[in-house]
Structure 1
């Protein structure tokens, strides 16, 4: 569960490394965001030679959370970090590669390109 002011790891090759959540989209008074939700983030740390600079604001989709979540079959799943993938204003990926594994729940959010670029779905 991600809330505002949470630091998140960026797992694509856009050039940014760390971002902070500043707004949870899809609901005016939503407090927490889960896997597959869209959020607004500000970049806190980036690579030296990247187009993305510190302080820029982007949309992002949450792909991994530390907080365990339950699936419909009764199993629960959690990851070691909170991770996101940066999106532009048209909800398309900025990067061209995705590092690490993604949760299967991303399939339900209509981001087919994420699924094809990921190493593995858990």
Structure 2
């Protein structure tokens, strides 16, 4: 579960390393975001090698989709899964990813939430 002021890692090649959640979207006074939700983030740190070729700058505000969370997620068959860190991928205003690659696996749950572009960019599923 992600809320305001949460520091998140970025799992794509947009140039950002860490971001901070500013607002959780989809509902008035909504407090938490879960896997597959859209949030508004501010870029906190950039990757060292990508500072000159970065697609984003420090302090910029972007939308992001949550790809992995530390909190447990329960599947329909009763099994649970969780990840080691909270990870997002940056998107533009039209909902398309800024980056051209996503590092690490993403859950199959994102296939059903109409985020097929992220499915094609990722390396695998869980």
Common fold: TM-score over 0.5? yes
Give 1:109 deviation, angstroms.
1.6
Any idea what SS the aligned residue of 1:121 has?
coil
**Distance in 1 (alpha carbons) for counterparts of 2:55 and 2:35:** 27
**Distance in 2 (alpha carbons) for counterparts of 1:35 and 1:103:** 9
Q: How many residues align?
A: 122
**Distance in 1 (alpha carbons) for counterparts of 2:58 and 2:10:** 13
Q: 1:83-94 to 2 correspondence within 5 Å?
A: 83-94=87-98
Give 1:113 deviation, angstroms.
1.1
Whether 2:6 is the aligned partner of 1:6: answer yes
**Distance in 2 (alpha carbons) for counterparts of 1:82 and 1:51:** 21
2:83 paired residue number: 79
Q: 1:34-90 CA deviation, whole Å, 9 max, x = no partner?
A: 000000000000132113111000000000000111111101110000000000011
**Distance in 1 (alpha carbons) for counterparts of 2:124 and 2:6:** 25
Q: 1:82-121 to 2 correspondence within 5 Å?
A: 82-121=86-125
**Distance in 2 (alpha carbons) for counterparts of 1:54 and 1:28:** 28
Any idea what SS the aligned residue of 1:106 has?
helix
**Distance in 1 (alpha carbons) for counterparts of 2:121 and 2:59:** 27
Any idea what SS the aligned residue of 1:120 has?
coil
Any idea what SS the aligned residue of 2:43 has?
strand
2:34 paired residue number: 34
Aligned-pair Cα RMSD in Å = 0.8
2:21 paired residue number: 21
Runs of 4+ in 1 over 4 A off after TM superposition: none
Structure 1 unpaired stretches of 5+: none
Give 1:95 deviation, angstroms.
0.2
Whether 2:74 is the aligned partner of 1:70: answer yes
